[in-house]
Amino acid sequence: MAEEHYLELSENPVQFEHASSVNNVFFDEANKQVFAVRSGGATGVVVKGPDDKSSVAFRMDDKGEVKCIKFSIGNKILAVQRTSKSVDFINFIPDYPHTEFTQECKTRNASILGFCWTSWNEIVFITDQGVEFYQVFPDKRNLKLLKSQSINVNWYQYCPETAVILLSTTVQGNVLQPLAFKNGNVSKMSKFEIELPVIPKPAKLSLSERDVAMATIYGQLYVMYLKHHSRTANSPGAEVVLYHLPREGPCKKSHVLKLNTTGKFALNIVDNLVVVHHQSSQTSLIFDIRLKEPDCSVNTQQPVLPARSIHPYRIPLSGSAVVPSQPPVPCQLYSSSWSVFQPDIIISASEGYLWYLQVKLPPTVKLLQDKGKLMDFLLRRRDCKMVILSVCSQILEGSEKAELPVVATVFDKLNQVYKEYLEAEQSYAAAVESGPSRGAATQKRPVRTQAVIDQSDMYTHVLSSFSERKGVSHKFIIAVLMEYIRSLNQYQITVQACLLLSLEGTYPPAHQLSLDMLKRLSTANDEIVEVLLSKQQVLGALRFIRSVGAHDNVSARKFLDAARQTGDQMLFYTVFRSFQQRNQRLRGSPAFNPGEHCEEHVTHFKQLFGEQAMMKASTV
């Protein structure tokens, strides 16, 4: 079971002073910073971020209980909310006045629910009556109202990656209004309604903030709604309903993720996977919205893998009181004191830890038996290359050996991604060549992800070791090699047969197989000649160029250099004679032209075999 934990907490968590009666803990989702505020800041504020650069420590006057505290992007300006009417600001820019300044909300009788920084000097106040968008002037120590929007607000959520604020409106709270902020502008996106499991009568707030999350999945913004099991509706369990939120156009319900159970849940996004934590069973489920179930409607999905717990985690003890032999303390996973933040953060305020949730790919291989589906899943993950190559090796040998159609499916899935990358590279190169007028300036160079498994990867990590295995039939080896070549041809990828030639040492038939294949593919023959000559197979190279009809055009010097380097005098004699014959046939004389630069080889031949040998004809 231990090897089946496909989720784990990061090895080096961010540590901070745990929450207590004198220490309040806050988290800023935009900068991923934890604030430990002691005694309202009078005895110190310690800010810990994902790296040391974003960690800060300072003191501030205790002016009452802190409700919310966040730095602007880049730790330039600190904003602190202590009342429901105003927000205080402190400059952290060098050489700027350090004195606090305050901004009250403009809307009369409104209460500030919270605030969000959208840039280093732009901030949004969210009140129960709407939003107020300000620009902060740290040098003048004041703010300017850029835009305001009146709307009744129950609660809000913020997605820092897209600078979109989601407002819960209406009495029931299920009409959501997204607002996008950029460069001093605010734009209304399409509002939409969340379908509630039960409509309450009389109407009351029915959509809870903790059941909604915003996240970017595969580059698109989604609102995730945790729809709980309804006893009256006789539904089998809770669901996560995804609403796709485009920049323009209507918001649409796009996916329904079936949880098949009830209880308390929390959501994370890791490596474009939706992770659903279930507290009572202490397990998590993962969903990949790009994987379509063949037996389900397009938007209804079951978990990719069976439910498993996060890998057990032990908290290392530290401090002067630690006894060296004392073992680390097991961490209570799925604790009720855990707080989950988007996309992949879990915080235990009571223990003083912030972890990043991570996916472990090797355990998924055994849990996902369908190799085609497994490949689809792995190809979309960040660190997938070595796991994919190990799966390719597994399906070719040993107890996990698969049937040829399965091998073909795996090759096709890999080569489809490989082809897409090659086409993107070609498109980029063409755009660069055509100059900036054709839009090359806007086209970015394609990023080579780990999902691109090229021929070199396949030969180095899979095919070469596979062909070395004892007990594997030659028939199966040839079938696999031909299947890989078929797949490359299907996606119109030029086969690099020189790599196939490199298998010759471990599997001799690969040599002839690759040469035959090259003739059929009309691939550049120079590359093959280079490989053969580098392996001192000079006669093999000579036969190859004759077989493809290229003997009349090749460089005699290249072959004579290679023959001489072997130290085999008879080989040198044979190659020299072969080119003398060619010269005789083409030009009526066995002599080399000055442009062929073979003078030193002629001298060497005379030294070895004498002047008289120059005149004789010979055949290979």
The pLDDT tens digits for 510-566 are 666 665 655 555 455 676 677 778 778 888 888 878 877 778 888 899 999 999 999
Same domain, 477 and 594: no
What's CA 297's distance to the chain center, in Å? Answer: 27
Does some domain include residue 125?
A: no
Taking every pair of C-alpha atoms in the chain, what is the biggest distance, in angstroms? Answer: 116
Q: 459, 492, 525 — which closes off a domain? A: 492
* Greater model confidence, 455 or 520: 455
Same domain, 472 and 583: no
Asked if residue 527 lies in contact with residue 498, where contact means CB atoms within 8 angstroms, the answer is: yes
pLDDT at position 320 is 39
- Give the closest residue to 288 by CA, choosing from 331, 321, 246, 242: 242
Same domain, 462 and 578: no
What pLDDT band is residue 373 in, cutting at 50, 70 and 90? very high
Same domain, 394 and 469: yes
- Tens digit of each residue's pLDDT (9 = 90 or more) over 190-248: 999 998 888 888 888 889 999 999 999 999 999 999 998 766 556 678 999 999 999 88
Residue indicated by tokens 């004699």: 573
Residue 357, pLDDT > 50, answer: yes
pLDDT at position 314 is 83
Same domain, 372 and 470: yes
- Please state whether the peptide bond connecting residue 246 to the residue before it is cis, i.e. omega within 30 degrees of 0: no
**What are the distances in angstroms from CA 273 to CA 141, 291, 481, 506?**
43, 11, 34, 41
pLDDT at position 164 is 96
Out of 276-285, 430-439, 545-554, 587-596, give the one with best mean pLDDT: 276-285
Count of CB atoms situated within 10 Å of the CB of 317: 12
Does some domain include residue 619?
A: yes
Q: Would you state the structure tokens that stand for residue 456, as one six-digit string?
A: 């070199």
Count of CB atoms situated within 10 Å of the CB of 320: 4
Q: Please count the CA atoms within 13 angstroms of the CA of 517 that sit on its side-chain side.
A: 24
The arithmetic mean of pLDDT across residues 104-111, rounded, is 92
| Cα–Cα distance measured from residue 176 to residue 179, given in angstroms and rounded to the nearest whole number | 10
- Give the closest residue to 223 by CA, choosing from 260, 252, 265: 252
Same domain, 387 and 473: yes
Q: How many structural domains compose the chain?
A: 2
Give the DSSP per-residue string, 467-479: HH-TT--HHHHHH
The arithmetic mean of pLDDT across residues 455-463, rounded, is 85
Asked if residue 34 lies in contact with residue 341, where contact means CB atoms within 8 angstroms, the answer is: no
Does some domain include residue 512?
A: no
- Tens digit of each residue's pLDDT (9 = 90 or more) over 242-267: 999 998 889 999 999 999 888 899 99
Which neighbouring-strand residues pair with 331? none
Does some domain include residue 481?
A: yes
pLDDT at position 25 is 92
Question: Among 338-347, 375-384, 502-511, where is mean pLDDT lowest?
Answer: 502-511
Q: Would you state the structure tokens that stand for residue 207, as one six-digit string?
A: 């959509």
pLDDT at position 1 is 47
Share of the chain above pLDDT 70, in %: 87
Residue 282, pLDDT > 90, answer: yes
Does some domain include residue 618?
A: yes
pLDDT at position 319 is 44
pLDDT at position 518 is 55
Same domain, 476 and 588: no
Question: Among 184-188, 404-408, 458-462, 525-529, where is mean pLDDT lowest?
Answer: 525-529
Rg of the chain taking only CA atoms, in angstroms: 34
| Cα–Cα distance measured from residue 226 to residue 240, given in angstroms and rounded to the nearest whole number | 5
Same domain, 473 and 578: no
| Three-state secondary structure of 199-221 | CCCCCCCCCCHHHEEEEEECCEE
Strand order of the β-sheet with 45-48 is 23-28, 33-38, 45-48, 56-58
Residue 544, SS3 per DSSP: helix
Q: 492, 514, 535 — which closes off a domain? A: 492
Does some domain include residue 612?
A: yes
pTM for the complete prediction?
0.79
Q: Would you state the structure tokens that stand for residue 52, as one six-digit string?
A: 């040391």
Q: Please count the CA atoms within 13 angstroms of the CA of 359 that sit on its side-chain side.
A: 26
Q: Which structural domain, as residue segments, surrounds residue 618? A: 555-620
The arithmetic mean of pLDDT across residues 81-96, rounded, is 92
Q: How far apart are the first and last CA of the chain?
A: 66
Same domain, 456 and 366: yes
Helices (H), 215-291: none
- Tens digit of each residue's pLDDT (9 = 90 or more) over 8-36: 999 888 989 888 888 999 999 999 999 99
Q: 472, 492, 512 — which closes off a domain? A: 492
Does some domain include residue 167?
A: no
Share of the chain above pLDDT 90, in %: 51
Residue 608, SS3 per DSSP: helix
Length of the chain, in residues? 620
Does some domain include residue 597?
A: yes
Out of 92-96, 147-151, 331-335, 459-463, give the one with best mean pLDDT: 147-151
Residue 509, pLDDT > 70, answer: no
Residue 386, pLDDT > 90, answer: yes
Asked if residue 318 lies in contact with residue 351, where contact means CB atoms within 8 angstroms, the answer is: no
Residue 322, pLDDT > 50, answer: no
Average confidence score pLDDT of the chain: 86
Same domain, 476 and 594: no
pLDDT at position 620 is 44
